[in-house]
Amino acid sequence: MNGTHPSYGHRALAEVRAQVRDECSREGNRLGVAFFDQHLERVVDYALRLAPALQADPLQVELAAWLHDLSAVRDFTTLPVHAEESARIARTLLAEQGWPAHLIDGVAAAIATHSAPVALGQGTPEQVCLSCADVMSQLARPIYWCFYLYQVRGLPFGEGQAWLRQRAGAIFEALPSAARELVAEERAAVARLIGASAAATERDWPRGGPRT
């Protein structure tokens, strides 16, 4: 099925979006209320922009994009397994709302594999699309991801810097060309940010330890 099924149009999508927004607004969401607009909305936007180039079903892609991190939103301790758990939650939620079984299968498959870019030909177009959009969103909103790395996860400075460097480097290069083109400027901005940070660290704390 391509496009929006006549029985499941904008109203049904809006209900899913509203439910996810409410989940993000809960006091217990360690990712913060900003996670909704700084990440989830960006993933939806990039996924839908990328879908035509990958011949991905836009309805499956949008549903997967809204729901792909729901496990971590509800319980941050599930982060190591949040892709699989979010896929399970999505199955239950969409089934309760009466979405078609084959669509639910596609959405769950995309969510389950979103944590690293799925290469072209190694998964469904929807899996490729969502996994790429996830990285694209991270490159597009580096300020939020610094909050995530240092405030939410409490990583040391160097580990957070390495996380960003990996996304602007090897992970970006693994994206399909259509995805790289969409976030080329954002990736360059993150690379400059990392370079400036590294230069400042080297200047203020040269090799061999701090100046005395």
The number of C-alpha atoms within 13 Å of 201 and in the hemisphere containing its C-beta is 11
Given a contact cutoff of 8 angstroms between Cβ atoms, the answer to whether 181 and 53 are in contact is no
pLDDT in tens, the chain (212 residues): 344 444 456 678 999 999 999 999 999 999 999 999 999 999 999 999 999 999 999 999 999 999 999 999 999 999 999 999 999 999 999 999 999 999 999 999 999 999 999 999 999 999 999 999 999 999 999 999 999 999 999 999 999 999 999 999 999 999 999 999 999 999 999 999 888 765 545 444 455 554 43
Please choose, from the candidates 162, 164, 176, 144, the residue with its C-alpha nearest in 3D space to the C-alpha of residue 53. Answer: 176
Residue-level pLDDT at 211: 43
Provide φ and ψ at 160, rounded to 5°. -65, -40
Q: What is the CATH number of domain 10-204?
A: 1.10.3210.10
Give pLDDT, residue 212: 37
- How far, in Å, CA of 145 to CA of 39, rounded? 9
Tokens for 198, please give them. Answer: 């590294």
- What torsion do the CA atoms of 140, 144, 148, 152 make, to the nearest 10 degrees? -160
pLDDT value of position 1: 36
Q: What residue type is 46 in one-letter code?
A: Y
The predicted structure's pLDDT at residue 202: 47
pLDDT at position 5: 47
The pLDDT assigned to 195 comes to 85
pLDDT for the residue numbered 11: 75
Q: Which two tokens stand for residue 169?
A: 């480097």
Structure tokens at 158: 């160097």
> Position of tokens 């991801």?
145
3-state SS string over the chain?
CCCCCCCCCHHHHHHHHHHHHHHHCCCCCCCCCHHHHHHHHHHHHHHHHHHHHHCCCHHHHHHHHHHCCHHHHHCHHHHHHHHHHHHHHHHHHHHHCCCCHHHHHHHHHHHHCCCCCCCCCCCCHHHHHHHHHHHHHHHHCHHHHHHHHHHHCCCCHHHHHHHHHHHHHHHHHCCCHHHHHHCHHHHHHHHHHHHHHHHHHHHHCCCCCCCC
Q: What is residue 2's predicted lDDT score, i.e. its pLDDT?
A: 41
